[in-house]
Amino acid sequence: MLTVHHLNNSRSQRVLWLLEELGVPYEIVRYERQPDMRAPKELRAIHPLGKSPVITDNGNTVAESGAIIEYLIATYGNGRLIPPPDTPERLRYTYWLHYAEGSAMSPLLLKLLFTLMPKRAPALLRPLVRKVSNQALTALVNPQLKQHMDYWEGELAKSEWFAGNEFTAADIQMSFPLEAAQARGGLELGHPKAMAFLERIHARPAYARALEKGGPYQVGR
């Protein structure tokens, strides 16, 4: 049976959601983050990098969110949650599927790191680390993040979903950056289309079922 190696509060929640949308049977092997938020070493027995998400299916081990989505859609989708070939929507689908991790997550990760650094620095160094972190956030990270959030807002003004007027797996892939931006990037400030997107996906029954099976999920908090 298809197995999802699921790390709590992680990108693997998207995989559960996709499987619920497709109605594909699967089992979950659960892993809990360590106190430093890293994945436990047991995940390295599944994939050398020890990261999540990872799935195993019919002798295949597939890692990376985008690759997993492509595999699941090709293997179990039967044409669902993907636009027809050779259409503008298919091109947009492919773009957003890769943009989500290739471009969108970089400033969000930097935002998280520079926010956490002062809290985890030794007490004597904390003022200096806070000053450096605040300068990096103000001069580099926050402007880049705002540019991305404004971009999402503009694209969602063109169509209800990222690839067009139909919900696709690209929207599942894009859910994580938008949820992270809501949690720590100020998405709610001046981005009503993006916030409406989050409301729509959170209202989907398959999203709710994935939360029930995956457990508590508070991305970026």
User: Closest Cα to residue 24, out of 32, 15, 33?
Assistant: 15
What pLDDT does 10 receive? Answer: 85
Q: Do domains 3-82+207-214 and 88-204 have the same CATH topology?
A: no
Q: Which amino acid appears at position 142 of this protein?
A: N
What pLDDT does 177 receive? Answer: 97
Q: Which CATH superfamily is domain 3-82+207-214 in?
A: Glutaredoxin (3.40.30.10)
Buried b (16+ CB within 10 A) or exposed e, 26-49: bebeebeeeeeeebeeebeebbee
Distance separating alpha carbons of residues 97 and 67, to the nearest angstrom: 9
What pLDDT does 9 receive? Answer: 77
What pLDDT does 220 receive? Answer: 46
What pLDDT does 215 receive? Answer: 84
Sequence spans of domains, the chain:
3-82+207-214, 88-204
Look up residue 46 and give its two tokens: 């599944």
| Contact (Cβ atoms closer than 8 angstroms) between residue 80 and residue 22 | yes
Distance separating alpha carbons of residues 56 and 46, to the nearest angstrom: 8
Distance separating alpha carbons of residues 185 and 83, to the nearest angstrom: 30
Per DSSP bridges, beta strands 60-63 and 27-31 are unpaired
What pLDDT does 34 receive? Answer: 76
Distance separating alpha carbons of residues 90 and 209, to the nearest angstrom: 27
10-residue mean pLDDT series, the chain (221 residues): 90 96 96 78 88 94 97 98 98 98 95 91 90 94 97 98 98 97 95 98 97 80 41
Q: What is 88-204's CATH number, 1.20.1050.10, 3.40.50.2300, 3.40.50.300, 1.20.1440.230?
A: 1.20.1050.10
Look up residue 17 and give its two tokens: 């959601």
What pLDDT does 218 receive? Answer: 76
